[in-house]
Amino acid sequence: MLARVATFAIDGVDPRQVWVEVDIRSGLPAFTIVGLGDAAVRESRDRIRSAIFNSGFEFPQSRITANLAPAFMPKVGPGFDAALAIAVLAASGQVTSDTLDSYAVFGELSLGGELRDSPGALAVAEGARRAGLARLIVPRERAREAALVDGLQIAGVSGLKAAADVVAGGEPPLLPSAPSDEGGSEPQEPDLADVRGHAGPLLALQIAAAGGHNLLLEGPPGTGKTMLARRLPSILPVMTRAEAIEVTRIHSIAGTNAGALVSARPFRAPHHSISPAGLVGGGLPPRPGEATLAKPSVYECT
């Protein structure tokens, strides 16, 4: 029997749709994953087998072939675990496949069947909306982040059993409540109003902030370059919702966001010894660099 589930790969800072196709046929028990997956994808076979057993399902004792399409695109990371497991359950008849075409599934599985916190849920949600999908299943810790995308029903689940229940027509769990700020306060950001003197640099900062210009601060150590740069975000305009979602998506992919909307303009101060890949992004798989993480705000190289 054949089953197909939609998921997404993260290519740099952009989501790419991937179809997880699982075919189960009679033959010697085997579980093969094709489609240019990396080591984390190949190792998912053992995670999926244990997660299915420990979630109260039966793992098919047949020949299982899983394809991650399109086959020419490299697949990196464990975020395909949940989609592969749901496809195996659907192909074996343990989960109804009538509504699978409207779902996207994303998340890493533990051996016990829990969905682990998986960075990049906001990018996946944007990709699901662009692909015309109506529903998205993500780890519960990332549900509020994914819900920032309008026009998409988000199901934040804690494990494979809950994900299978949602696909079978169960009611999606309620989104987790936002963390309370009671008992603590936000750390005070440096304010440009605290600066005394530096009349010339202050005027330059105000002009750069008002016009959205680039700014180069040059001078000997101890003259206040970093102090001024750190205070520039305090006079920048508040980010629009589109800018905030873009910043949140980038930081979610980089793993530096806790799952909430980023409302403060980012400030990055990398050391001068940073590598080119760390500065502008790159590597295998491609990761955002400091210049990307600073978008659309302040960047300083010390």
DSSP 60-94: --SEEEEEEESTTS-B-SSTTHHHHHHHHHHHTTS
Contact 49, 56 (CB under 8 A): no
- What pLDDT sits at residue 297? 58
State pLDDT tens for residues 139-153: 999 999 999 999 999
**Alpha-carbon span 143 to 145, nearest angstrom:** 5
Region of residue 83 (left: phi > 0; alpha: psi -120 to 50; beta: else) = alpha
State pLDDT tens for residues 222-243: 999 999 999 999 999 888 898 9
Give how far Cα 67 sits from Cα of 37, 60, 247, 277, Å: 10, 17, 33, 31
Q: Write phi, then psi, for 118 (nearest 5 degrees).
A: -120, 115
Query: Out of 2.60.420.10, 3.40.50.970, 3.30.230.10, 3.30.56.10, which CATH number does the structure's domain 2-167 have?
Result: 3.30.230.10
Q: Domain spans of the chain?
A: 2-167, 192-299
Residue 162 has pLDDT above 90, yes or no: yes
C-alpha torsion sign, points 154, 159, 163, 166? negative
pTM of the model: 0.86
State pLDDT tens for residues 242-275: 899 999 999 999 888 777 888 888 888 888 899 9
Residue 182 has pLDDT above 60, yes or no: no
Residue 185 has pLDDT above 60, yes or no: no
State pLDDT tens for residues 15-49: 999 999 999 999 999 999 999 999 999 999 999 99
State pLDDT tens for residues 2-19: 999 999 999 888 999 999
Confidence of residue 187 (pLDDT cuts 50, 70, 90): low
DSSP annotation string for 239-251: PPHHHHHHHHHHH
- What pLDDT sits at residue 212? 85
Between the two ends of the chain, the Cα-to-Cα distance in Å is 59
- What pLDDT sits at residue 177? 63
> For 134-163, what is the mean pLDDT?
94
The percentage of the chain sitting over the pLDDT mark of 70, rounded to a whole number, equals 94
> For 197-223, what is the mean pLDDT?
91
Confidence of residue 184 (pLDDT cuts 50, 70, 90): very low
Which residues, 6+ apart, have CB-to-CB distance to 240 below 8 Å? none
Nearest to 6 by CA among 255, 96, 17, 186: 17
State pLDDT tens for residues 50-96: 999 999 999 999 999 999 999 999 999 999 999 999 999 999 999 98
Q: Write phi, then psi, for 252 (nearest 5 degrees).
A: -65, -45
Contact 173, 156 (CB under 8 A): yes
Contact 88, 48 (CB under 8 A): yes
State pLDDT tens for residues 274-299: 998 889 888 777 788 998 898 875 54
